[in-house]
């Protein structure tokens, strides 16, 4: 479920008319519903609480999906932890008031500086992805006089996900240490001064709807836990990653209920039964995906003999998912179409100078005219967080709605900022 719906003939985010946001903030602009974010977090956290005894499950929202401070504050107030993948994300989580003790640091390529910052800040856990990272983390920890708690991210050789580019769990992918290596690394780590290994982590991919894929991977990590314990190693924590999929092709009446979340929770409870571990989860898309839309205005209609192009003011630099993953996003006109409105097929494109800047082809929509507003639905995850300034376009604005009010949580970048961050080499005088 989400909180975008037509009211009095116009699409609203909760109680706020998107026409109003477009008029006051301009377009393109991302609009997030705090009620939807809260709802999804609460549904997920409540379901996960049922899989293990009280206090033994932890939800670390994967900030890469959407790192806006408004989003982080909303989740932090509900007690969420944060899964980060760079020093910038660790800093942003701290800036949002998330206690360091609720921050996990994942990722294949952490530098010494990044690890130093995170260890010094006192984060909960580092997810180690390679032997050389283990060595580096221990060195960093020892230099700071700390033993950083960490887990090994293992590669279960079970990949899944909505697109090859977002599959991570296959042995072909760059992520994690192999099952065969982890025992040896555990043994080495036991004698290292700057690190304390607490358990294991895995993450097999993103936009996954098949519970079976998760189950197969989790069964492997549970078996590995038993084997490692048999060798005398400590496995107190399992971080089961994120990856739960969401519906992108939502009919307007779709009730995005807890079905998949509940099935997932039941599966986790079954697979980890009696294991006596703390469980961590890193959902990203599930929490924010359909809590956000990208609002854009029609700039031009280009009608050619064989095609109609709808040129909008958003582009692939604002929302790259269609260009990068052939991703599908529903398009809803902001003005509610009459039930008998004439429809035609459009190629919806942005202003960027490459053909890849195409959001969709042949999409049947009500007849549009210049200045009409449309919304790309389900754009809350990996939308703004993947945006750029390609073609020297301003970084997109972001807005958060709460009930009848809204706040600009990222003003549109200014041209001064866009140009002013570059520096002219001094030899130009």
Residue 33, helix vs strand vs coil: strand
C-alpha pair distances (Å), 415 with each of 56, 269, 345, 388, 393: 48, 52, 35, 14, 9
Q: What are phi and psi of 171, to 5 degrees?
A: -65, -15
Is 353 one of the annotated active-site residues of the chain? yes
Residue 6 or 390 with smaller CB distance to ligand LLP: 390
Residue 70 or 289 with smaller CB distance to ligand LLP: 289
- Please report how close the Cβ of residue 245 comes to ligand LLP at its closest, in angstroms: 7
**How long, in residues, is the chain?**
429
- Please report how close the Cβ of residue 383 comes to ligand LLP at its closest, in angstroms: 8
- Please report how close the Cβ of residue 74 comes to ligand LLP at its closest, in angstroms: 17
The token pair that represents 55 in the structure block: 């206090």
Residue 261 or 298 with smaller CB distance to ligand LLP: 261
Residue 259 or 274 with smaller CB distance to ligand LLP: 259
Q: In the chain, count of helices (H) and strands (E)?
A: 12, 21
Strands (DSSP E) along 266-403, which ranges?
278-281, 292-303, 308-312, 331-333, 343-349, 358-366, 373-376, 397-402
DSSP string, 79-121: T-EEEE-SHHHHHHHHHTT--GGGEEE--S---HHHHHHHHHH
Q: What are phi and psi of 49, to 5 degrees?
A: -60, -25
* CA dihedral for 90, 291, 45, 69, sign (positive or negative): positive
Q: Alpha-carbon distance 357 to 85, whole Å?
A: 28
Name the active-site residue from 353, 364, 419, 424.
Answer: 353
Where along the sequence are the contacts to ligand LLP (CB under 6 A)? 62, 64-65, 83, 106, 166, 168, 203, 206-207, 241-244, 282-286, 321, 325, 381-382
Residue 142 or 324 with smaller CB distance to ligand LLP: 324
- Please report how close the Cβ of residue 378 comes to ligand LLP at its closest, in angstroms: 11
- Please report how close the Cβ of residue 284 comes to ligand LLP at its closest, in angstroms: 3
- Please report how close the Cβ of residue 252 comes to ligand LLP at its closest, in angstroms: 23
Residue 151 or 271 with smaller CB distance to ligand LLP: 151
Give catalytic residue positions: 353
């Amino acid at each position: 479920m989400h909180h975008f719906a037509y009211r009095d003939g116009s699409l609203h985010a909760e109680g706020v008319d998107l026409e109003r946001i477009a008029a006051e903030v301009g377009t393109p602009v991302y609009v997030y519903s705090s009620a939807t974010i809260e709802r999804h977090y609460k549904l997920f956290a409540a379901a996960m609480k049922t899989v293990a005894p009280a206090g033994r499950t932890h939800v670390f929202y994967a900030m890469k999906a959407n790192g806006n401070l408004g989003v982080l504050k909303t989740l932090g107030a509900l007690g969420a932890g944060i899964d980060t993948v760079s020093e910038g994300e660790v800093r942003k989580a701290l800036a949002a008031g998330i206690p360091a003790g609720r921050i996990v640091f994942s990722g294949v390529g952490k530098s010494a500086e990044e690890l130093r910052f995170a260890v010094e800040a006192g984060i909960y856990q580092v997810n180690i992805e390679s032997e050389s990272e283990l060595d580096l983390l221990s060195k960093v920890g020892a230099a700071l006089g700390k033993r950083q708690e960490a887990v090994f991210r293992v590669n279960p050789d079970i990949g899944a996900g909505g697109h090859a580019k977002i599959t991570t769990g296959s042995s072909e992918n760059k992520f994690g240490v192999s099952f065969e290596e982890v025992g040896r690394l555990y043994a080495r780590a036991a004698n290292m001064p700057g690190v304390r290994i607490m358990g294991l982590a895995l993450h097999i991919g993103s936009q996954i709807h098949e519970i079976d894929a998760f189950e197969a991977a989790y069964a492997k990590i549970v078996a590995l836990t038993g084997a490692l314990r048999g060798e005398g190693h400590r496995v107190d924590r399992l971080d089961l990653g994120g990856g739960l999929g969401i519906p992108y092709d939502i009919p307007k009446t779709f009730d995005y209920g807890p079905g998949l979340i509940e099935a997932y929770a039941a599966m986790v409870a079954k697979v980890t039964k009696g294991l006596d571990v703390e469980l961590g989860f890193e959902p990203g898309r599930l929490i924010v995906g359909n809590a956000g839309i990208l609002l854009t205005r029609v700039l031009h209609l280009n009608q050619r003999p064989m095609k109609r192009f709808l040129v909008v003011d958003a582009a692939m630099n604002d929302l790259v998912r269609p260009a990068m993953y052939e991703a599908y996003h529903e398009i809803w006109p902001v003005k509610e179409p009459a039930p008998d409105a004439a429809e035609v097929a459009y190629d919806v494109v942005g202003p960027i100078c490459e053909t890849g800047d195409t959001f969709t082809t042949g999409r049947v929509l009500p007849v549009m005219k210049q200045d009409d507003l449309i919304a790309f639905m389900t754009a809350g995850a990996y939308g703004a967080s993947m945006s750029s300034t390609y073609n020297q376009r301003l970084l997109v604005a972001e807005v958060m709605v709460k009930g009848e009010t809204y706040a600009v949580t990222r003003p549109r970048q200014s041209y001064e900022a866009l140009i002013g961050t570059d520096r002219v080499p001094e030899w130009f005088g």
